[in-house]
Structure 1
Amino acid sequence: MFISNKPNMSNNELLKKESSLLRGSIVKDIEANITGGFNYNNSQLIRFHGMYQQDDRDLRKERLKQKLEPLVTIMLRCRLPGGIITANQWFKINKLATESTLYNNIRLTTRQTFQLHGILKANIKAMHKILNKIELDSIATAGDVNRNILCSFSPKSHISYINCWSWSIKIATHLLPKSKAYAELWLKDKKTTLIKDEPILGNNYLPRKFKIAIAIPPVNDVDIYSNDIGFIAVNKLNKLIGFNIIVGGGLSIVHNDKQTYPKKANEIGFIFLNETLKVSEAIITIQRDYGNRVNRKAARTRYTLDKVSISLFRKEIEKRANLNLSYVYPYSFNKRNDSIGWLKGNDKSWYLNIYVQNGRVVDYQDKLLKTGLEKISKIHNKSFCITPNQNIVITDVRSVSKPKLESIIKTYKLINIKESIHKRKAMACVSFPTCPLAMAEAERFLVPFLNKLEKIMLHNNVHKDSIILRISGCPNGCSRSMLSEICLVGKSIGKYNVYLGGNYEGTRIPKLYIENANEKDILKAISKASKSWVNNKRPNEPFGSFIIRTKLIRPVINSSKDFYSI
């Protein structure tokens, strides 16, 4: 059942306003045994509690033919600032995935956390209680709130990394919803102390989702320019002194709607560490007060920033935070992919980065990833770190412990030197069969497509040079595809829009090259471009930079203007 609209307010705004701070009638839906799902309004509200209602679209037609309800299940996304999870927590989550989901796997996400797919409604409460017992939750990992905060994984700058990770937790905690609805609905089975107001997010919460990340130059593994707020670490004499602030990034679009566009964040200024929380609060409350609450397609911070101008936005931050923003410190990025294998941190510990194809933790025929990680979690008394590139790191390994881990790595084939550099740098969203927004395949399409692409690149003699390729099954861009050198965005089954011209560092938006293309046409176009690349590129010139230099694509400088220009 839809809530009727009112002038100057979208349906979602009315829903939030009338939800009793995210409670709605969820209790009644939990108790209803006649259906495996929630009604429309409550299916929107459970997102604020970190869950999405889904159904298996591979089975939808057959179940309809048999006059059965779609196979409705719940996807749960954990809150995990900076991606750190203890080995013991991983062991318990692995057990949950095995015993309490239909798909028996864990999905690592581009927001540096994990998702569990295929949870039946009857099991939701028990799952939240288990999460709570191991000191985890799923609060605010979806919905119109600040979502899971990313933090660069950087063991070679260990002190800065630990400090930045601790700030990701502080910011996340400060910006959490204050409503007790999560605890009341999923943990306590009774009403808790009633909170009447949300002092930061507002009782209507934000106009749209909000994303924050922390980057440690020269590593840009978080794709910092894609976030509503980007904190870029500034170090002096190996000590974190503050952050450069960038605001207003976002990558989603709507097909055939030129009022929507991807945009990289704008530099605002520098802040000292003790100013971090009040600046975070100032920016998020500006978006709360001035974001578009009529048209959700234009409700992200980037549209607010473009509407009011950077200078006015900056002045409003200074006013609300009661400070003067300083000039941005010089910084640069030269890397955003993960280094797979053993890494030596400057804390003298070892870190083992394991490649996870598309973030899907499952036992493959040639790589028993799920079982191998379970074995490691039993003997490793430290933590794991999920990276922003959907891989997983075994952290803080002492030299004396390496032989035990090496034995597990070998037994379960966790490190495969034959995995290509292109696959290790590529990403795809989940898409079919569980995502309700999917227009075309992504995760299931990526590896077969890359196998064909790699043959072309071998033929063109560019197989040793990597290209960053990402695929999104719809224009929402969960795989951060709009910051890749080759970007495929699903248009319909088997058809994609192809964008070229992003750069290796993740600081430039790509531009439309071919529209509504099938796999054959995409491979043909990339083959032609890569052949030109190998014949005419400058020494060490990345593919995306070559595309711009040779004017195959004009660079996107002003997102709202250049992205759609011919």
Structure 2
Amino acid sequence: MTGPSRNERIKEESRLLRGTIAEGLERRITGALAEDDTQLGKFHGFYQQDDRDLRPERAKKKMEPAYSFMIRVRLPGGVCTPSQWLQMDDIAGTFANGTLRLTTRQTFQFHGVIKSNLKRTMQALDAALLDTIAACGDVNRNVLATSNPWQSQAHGAAYELAREISEHLLPRTGAWREIWLDGEKLAGGEAEDEPLYGRTYLPRKFKTVVAVPPANDVDVFAQDLGFVAVLDEAGAVAGWNVTVGGGMGMTHGEPTTWPRTADLLGFCTTEQAVDVAEKVVLVQRDFGDRSNRKHARLKYTIDDRGIGWFREEVERWLGYRLGEPRPMAFGHTGDRFGWVEDHEGFWHYTLFIENGRIKDTALRAMRTGLRKIAGIHEGEFRLTANQNLIVSRIAPPMRARIEALLEEHGLANGWSGLRLNSMACVALPTCGLALAESERYLPDLVTALEDTLEEAGLRDDEIVIRMTGCPNGCARPYLAEIGLVGRAPGKYNLYLGAAFDGTRLNKLYRRDVGHDAIVEELRPLFARYAREREEGERFGDFVLRAGIIAATAAGRRFHEDLPPEVERWAR
């Protein structure tokens, strides 16, 4: 029998996530941390990276890589105050690379933070009443909540549940405050433990979301654990359907890995929800694979043992039975852009942030404009799981002033349906896993595809397109109607056929295609879609009905029923 993976040893010997991080911060001879500490750093909310654009030149000069760190904030539900926005903007300009990035985990990321600024950044976050605890690592990560402003009563309940789950499932180690805030160290012999996780935490990362139909803006079926609001006739939350076992990551060329959509587990009340979340985590803690990290996510635990077994184990921990799932239906995974008024008379404006990157350009002074808005705004900001931003709870007298700032800085919407539903991971130059470009390339590809959509009369049609630089799936490409996953520089696998509402995976359609081939493959499909679609039919549904691609009925079937030319390659 295979023993625990190397990461399990690192966690076991880490003294509850301390390792030698504090000592490594003092080592001025290198811009990096020790290898084991880079794994522990994820639990503290940061990844060590280097600029891969600079690698060849630095290697030629016998210099070490240009190391820096990506820092991710814990922001349950994606809600922050205008004051916190300004503080995040200050951190980006003072310690990072001058940009803010809104992520698919509904939070902020800072890029380009050098080692000597790591501690200063963490302390600045603490001053903003924020932290990075468990934003990454083998724990429950930042908890997402639906952002839809037109259902503010239900959104409030979703946000509160996300916040409560986040707090309840946080690691209890004092390592974060000790290392970054010079908190009190444990006295000799004083006991410390993790009452929920234990000393080796979870086998792999764990992602939780809270959704309110008809909006599936958090992609509930892509997550380890989901709570889907069941509303009563008055629009209040009557309870929650519980979903388990979703996950996007896979590995090229390894058919024993696959993305998976979540299963319905049962129904619980609001009073039971945090307890249910804890018990789902405990079952995965005890039964997840700790020898093979590629097989360690909850989706494989459930695929190996069955959803019936999993429910029995959760209910054994709970001491009571879950209810049967209630009817639910989603309409879309994207955000609803523009102005919306809620039931309390507040206004909300959802603006498109391409791939989540907030910076000033010659065409769009986005960072400056949002800083000015934060300076006068008295409501809140909501980050979305689609990398966009809602200026939220705008009092009616303030709407005109904020609208003027949006127009002045080029922030008002006016994009194609494809671009509004596009999403990319960071990829090159900083992500160490990236095989191809993503954030830097997708805007150009969308521009080229807009021309083909214009030809077909589809410019304003909503079609979901997502791209990642590797198969790990951070931008959830396997739930996109058009998914592109990097294989090598300039080469992508093209996937088609996911459901617009996020309930069905796509399927591999073409392998190793470059820019021109992607455009030429999609051009005739767009033309056929324009001519042959049925009333209300979405692009992902059309390519299935037209026989262009087979449906993926389950994660285990993801690598089956491929087009003949792709099947020949797969064999």
TM-score by length of 2: 0.96
Mapped partners of 1:174, 1:57: distance in 2: 38
List per-residue Cα deviations over 1:137-186 (Å, max 9, x = no partner). Answer: 00001110101011001222111111110110100000000111000010
- 1:3 equivalent in structure 2: none
How is 1:223-302 mapped onto 2 (pairs within 5 angstroms)? 223-236=219-232, 237-302=234-299
Mapped partners of 2:221, 2:361: distance in 1: 34
Mapped partners of 1:176, 1:409: distance in 2: 37
Mapped partners of 1:463, 1:403: distance in 2: 29
2:134 paired with 1:140: yes
Instruction: Indicate the larger mover: 299-308 or 513-522.
Output: 513-522
- 2:569 equivalent in structure 1: none
Mapped partners of 1:556, 1:7: distance in 2: 32
Shift of 1:460: 2.6
- 1:406 equivalent in structure 2: 403
- 2:468 equivalent in structure 1: 472
- 2:567 equivalent in structure 1: none
1:328 corresponds, among 325, 337, 352, to 325
SS in 1 for 2:153: helix
Give the residue type in structure 2 aligned to 1:94: D
Mapped partners of 1:59, 1:189: distance in 2: 37
Mapped partners of 1:82, 1:256: distance in 2: 35
Mapped partners of 1:195, 1:106: distance in 2: 39
Matched length:
559
Does the 8 A contact of 2:244 with 2:262 survive in 1?
Answer: yes
Shift of 1:348: 1.1
Quote the RMSD (CA, aligned, Å).
Answer: 1.3
2:535 corresponds, among 533, 539, 564, to 539
Mapped partners of 2:2, 2:312: distance in 1: 31
2:483 paired with 1:493: no
Give the residue type in structure 2 aligned to 1:509: L
1:80 corresponds, among 75, 79, 92, to 75
Gapped runs of 5+ residues in structure 2? 563-571
1:11 corresponds, among 6, 11, 24, to 6
- 1:522 equivalent in structure 2: 518
TM-score by length of 1: 0.97
- 1:52 equivalent in structure 2: 47
Mapped partners of 2:237, 2:527: distance in 1: 44
List per-residue Cα deviations over 1:178-207 (Å, max 9, x = no partner). Answer: 111000010125414755221211210100
Shift of 1:375: 0.6
1:191 corresponds, among 185, 196, 206, to 185
Mapped partners of 1:489, 1:500: distance in 2: 12
Structure 1 residue ranges (4+ consecutive) displaced by more than 4 angstroms after TM superposition:
192-195
Does the 8 A contact of 2:229 with 2:239 survive in 1?
Answer: yes
How is 1:148-159 mapped onto 2 (pairs within 5 angstroms)? 148-159=142-153
Instruction: Indicate the larger mover: 197-206 or 280-289.
Output: 197-206
Shift of 1:315: 0.8
Instruction: Indicate the larger mover: 28-37 or 190-199.
Output: 190-199
1:107 corresponds, among 96, 101, 104, to 101
Does the 8 A contact of 1:88 with 1:381 survive in 2?
Answer: no
Does the 8 A contact of 2:140 with 2:170 survive in 1?
Answer: yes
Give the residue type in structure 1 aligned to 2:359: V
Shift of 1:96: 1.1
Mapped partners of 1:464, 1:150: distance in 2: 28
Does the 8 A contact of 2:80 with 2:382 survive in 1?
Answer: yes
- 1:128 equivalent in structure 2: 122
Give the residue type in structure 1 aligned to 2:540: G
Mapped partners of 1:364, 1:540: distance in 2: 37
1:68 corresponds, among 59, 63, 67, to 63
Does the 8 A contact of 2:82 with 2:380 survive in 1?
Answer: yes
SS in 1 for 2:508: strand
List per-residue Cα deviations over 1:334-380 (Å, max 9, x = no partner). Answer: 12211222111122100111211110000121211100111111111
Give the residue type in structure 2 aligned to 1:10: S
Does the 8 A contact of 1:258 with 1:564 survive in 2?
Answer: no
- 1:28 equivalent in structure 2: 23
2:209 paired with 1:213: yes
Mapped partners of 2:374, 2:186: distance in 1: 35
- 1:447 equivalent in structure 2: 443
- 1:350 equivalent in structure 2: 347
Instruction: Indicate the larger mover: 342-351 or 186-195.
Output: 186-195
Mapped partners of 2:184, 2:145: distance in 1: 36
Does the 8 A contact of 1:208 with 1:299 survive in 2?
Answer: yes
SS in 2 for 1:555: coil
How is 1:335-374 mapped onto 2 (pairs within 5 angstroms)? 335-374=332-371
